[in-house]
Amino acid sequence: MSAEIEDIIKRFQNYPNVVGIIIVDLFAIPIKTTMDYNLTVHYATLVSNLLSKASKMVHSLDMTNELTSLRLRTSKHEVVIVPEENFFIIVVQNPSE
């Protein structure tokens, strides 16, 4: 699993617009991060809450459907959140415009 994670981080770090990458496990504990610690923990807790709410919402609208990703575009950057089997990937990037 850690090889997979390293792979993911390498893949995303090469993009010029990426501000930071955080890998969080299912208990909202950051496993790997490229940002500073306090910000990482902040992101990790907020995003795990949001993700659990989002998947509940998707289920409640349609039982057979499942959340695959979540993108939050704010005025300063874009946060892309992808839930995987054992962890979540959070990527913060500058929007490309």
Partner 1 sequence: MNRLNSKVLEEIVHKNADNTSRIVEQTHGYVVSENNGALVATSFDNTTAQAIVKHVHDNFLKMAQSAIRDLDPTDKLCFMRVATRKFEFLVAPDDPFTITVLL
Contacting positions for partner 1 (CB under 8 A)? 42-43, 46-47, 49-50, 53-54, 57-58, 60-62, 64-76
With contact defined as beta carbons under 8 Å apart, do 87 and 27 qualify?
A: no
In angstroms, give the least distance from the CB of 89 to partner 1: 14
Nearer to partner 1, 29 or 46 (CB): 46
Nearer to partner 1, 16 or 76 (CB): 76
Residues in the chain: 97
3-class DSSP assignment, residue 24:
strand
User: Looking only at Cα atoms, what is the longest distance across the chain?
Assistant: 38
